[in-house]
Amino acid sequence: MQGLAFLVRGISAINWLVGQVLSWLALVCVLVCFTVVVQRYFFNTSTLWVQDLYVWVAGAMFTGVAGFALLRDDHVRVDIFYRPAPIRRKAMADLFGVVVFLLPFMYVVFHYCYPAVARSWGYHEGSANIGGMPGLFVLKSFIIVFAVLVGLQGIAMACRAILVLANREELLPPGLRYPTEDTREVH
């Protein structure tokens, strides 16, 4: 059980760090978008690679922080049944959801996207727009990053659920335990 707790802490730390770093891309996205607006409306000019840049930055951010969002329990869920449930029922629901839905879906994403990403890296694919951004292959790699980080966080969720079902949740630090009514954050 100590190994499961260590795995949950390690995976959660990775996703927390990635989330902290990539969340700054939101600011980059806003600044680049602002630059496009200023270019277009004040200077009557437009640079296609800058227009590509803010879309690419947003794509990299949203795919890269998906595991962090799962760590924070920020993904959409039908809370009408989940929220009032006892912790053990939440753990059973999480374990079932991860094993039956999340991990198989992440496998499908990884399995079917990897050849396309590898092919894109093979010829250093760039934007389809003339004068657009080079390096589309880097952006496409974030699909793989998405599948890996969300899959890893799913494994951490499953391990956390197993610890709860085995009555060993105390092995986890308070921030990684299931929230109770008195510790739940308001989002």
CA distance 84 to 157: 19
pLDDT of residue 60: 93
pLDDT of residue 128: 82
Per-residue pLDDT of 9-50, as tens digits, reads 999 999 999 999 999 999 999 999 999 999 999 999 888 888
Longest dimension (CA), the chain: 65
Percent of the chain, pLDDT > 70?
95
pLDDT of residue 187: 46
Average pLDDT over residues 122-129: 87
Residue 154 — pLDDT band, cuts 50, 70, 90? very high
Tokens 């959660």 belong to 12
Per-residue pLDDT of 136-145, as tens digits, reads 899 999 999 9
pLDDT of residue 186: 47
DSSP string computed for 22-64: HTTHHHHHHHHHHHHHHHHHHSS---HHHHHHHHHHHHHHHHH
